[in-house]
């Protein structure tokens, strides 16, 4: 009897356990089914968002292409009005930058140094006039820069106008004074440096046609003592090149060529 009761109890426990396990499995399945349904809904929602984004991107690309075409058309009209090309605009921009940088560098110089570079500053005048005369000077991207360049150059010219007048030297005879541009520049009262003879030559080109030929009683202007400027260096190079052609490369390379009279 006791064995039968024990078996009944065991059977009841097993039955209850089976029912509980079945119910637990059903709950897990229901939860899984709910998660699947939720994820499916999220996926479908994201697909819809992605499709809408792709549509928006395609529309924006189309709009961008249209705007770019309009921009290119307007830019070409602008260039036609200015009678130039994109390459012309870039070249003008570079020219303007180069001139502005040069003028800025001269503006930073002391008055004494600026006077020594008077010829270089004055040589910028025609280039700046050419920039001002260009139709591109009226373009919106260049107008203020051109005005600034013009104003700064005007200040430089005003400072140069105050440079003191050059001293003068009256040429003596070769027999007595040994006067040539080299020897004049060498004098302690002039430059104390014979290699600065091109300064005298350039300043007196109205009188001196050949650096080797100066004549007694000529009154030469003597610029302020300073390193050779661009024009003076160019004059020296041209002179030495001519001498090299006349005397041969050996004399030119030796550095012994100099104005003789």
| 4-40 tens-digit pLDDT | 566 555 656 555 555 556 666 666 777 888 888 888 8
Instruction: Give the structural domain span for 111.
Output: 87-161
Are residue 95 and residue 156 in the same domain, yes or no? yes
How many domains in the chain?
A: 2
Determine, yes or no, domain membership for 223. yes
Could you tell me which residue, 258 or 110, shows the higher pLDDT?
110
Cβ contacts of 185 within 8 Å, gap of 6 or more: 191, 193, 194, 195, 196, 197, 199, 200
Task: Assess whether pLDDT exceeds 60 at residue 249.
Answer: no
Are residue 138 and residue 187 in the same domain, yes or no? no
- For residue 117, what is the enclosing H or E element? none
Task: Assess whether pLDDT exceeds 50 at residue 261.
Answer: no
Average per-residue pLDDT for the chain: 84
Least confident range of 138-152, 177-191, 239-253: 239-253
Task: Assess whether pLDDT exceeds 90 at residue 198.
Answer: yes
As a whole-number percent, the residues of the chain with pLDDT over 90 amount to 51
Least confident range of 9-18, 58-67, 107-116: 9-18
Whether the CB-CB separation of 223 and 201 falls below 8 Å is answered with no
List, for residues 126-154, the tens digit of each pLDDT value: 999 999 999 999 999 999 999 999 999 99
Are residue 133 and residue 171 in the same domain, yes or no? no
167 three-state secondary structure: strand
Give the largest CA-CA distance in the chain.
162
Are residue 133 and residue 173 in the same domain, yes or no? no
Determine, yes or no, domain membership for 5. no
Are residue 194 and residue 219 in the same domain, yes or no? yes
Are residue 249 and residue 176 in the same domain, yes or no? yes
170 three-state secondary structure: strand
Task: Assess whether pLDDT exceeds 60 at residue 2.
Answer: no
Whether the CB-CB separation of 222 and 168 falls below 8 Å is answered with yes
Cβ contacts of 118 within 8 Å, gap of 6 or more: 160, 163
Are residue 156 and residue 171 in the same domain, yes or no? no
CA atoms within 13 A on the CB side of 164: 10
Average pLDDT of 150-177? 86
Whether the CB-CB separation of 184 and 220 falls below 8 Å is answered with yes
Whether the CB-CB separation of 241 and 154 falls below 8 Å is answered with no
Token pair, residue 2, equals 């006791």
Given 161, 193, 224, the domain boundary residue is 161
Are residue 171 and residue 223 in the same domain, yes or no? yes
pTM over 0.85: no
Angle between helices 140-161 and 86-107 (to 10 degrees): 30
State the pLDDT confidence band at 70, using cuts at 50, 70 and 90. Answer: confident
Cα angle for residues 34, 37, 39 (degrees, 5° grid): 110
User: What CATH code is carried by the domain that includes residue 229?
Assistant: 3.10.350
Are residue 137 and residue 173 in the same domain, yes or no? no
Task: Assess whether pLDDT exceeds 80 at residue 1.
Answer: no
Least confident range of 23-27, 84-88, 114-118, 236-240: 23-27
Residue (of 151, 152, 146, 102) closest to 124 by Cα position: 102
Are residue 106 and residue 148 in the same domain, yes or no? yes
- For residue 168, what is the enclosing H or E element? strand 167-170
Determine, yes or no, domain membership for 22. no
């Amino acid at each position: 009897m006791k064995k039968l009761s024990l078996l009944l109890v065991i059977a009841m426990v097993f039955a209850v356990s089976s029912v509980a396990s079945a119910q637990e499995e059903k709950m897990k399945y229901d939860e899984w089914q709910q998660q699947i349904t939720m994820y499916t809904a999220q996926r479908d929602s994201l697909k819809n968002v992605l499709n809408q984004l792709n549509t928006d991107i395609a529309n924006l690309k189309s709009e961008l292409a249209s705007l770019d075409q309009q921009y290119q058309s307007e830019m070409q009209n602008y260039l036609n009005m200015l009678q130039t090309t994109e390459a012309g605009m870039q070249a003008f921009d570079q020219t303007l930058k180069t001139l502005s940088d040069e003028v800025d560098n001269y503006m930073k110089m002391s008055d004494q140094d600026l006077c020594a570079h008077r010829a270089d500053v004055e040589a910028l005048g025609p280039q700046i006039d050419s920039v001002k005369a260009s139709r591109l000077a009226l373009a919106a991207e260049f107008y203020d820069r051109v005005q600034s360049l013009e104003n700064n150059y005007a200040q430089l010219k005003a400072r140069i106008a105050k440079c003191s007048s050059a001293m003068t030297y009256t040429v003596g005879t070769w027999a007595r004074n040994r006067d040539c541009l080299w020897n004049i520049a060498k004098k302690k009262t002039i430059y104390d440096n014979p290699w600065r003879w091109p300064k005298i030559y350039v300043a007196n080109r109205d009188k001196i046609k050949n650096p080797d030929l100066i004549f007694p009683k000529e009154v030469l202007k003597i610029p302020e003592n300073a390193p050779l400027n661009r024009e003076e260096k160019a004059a020296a190079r041209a002179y030495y090149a001519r001498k090299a052609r006349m005397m041969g490369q050996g004399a030119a390379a030796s550095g012994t060529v100099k104005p003789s009279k």
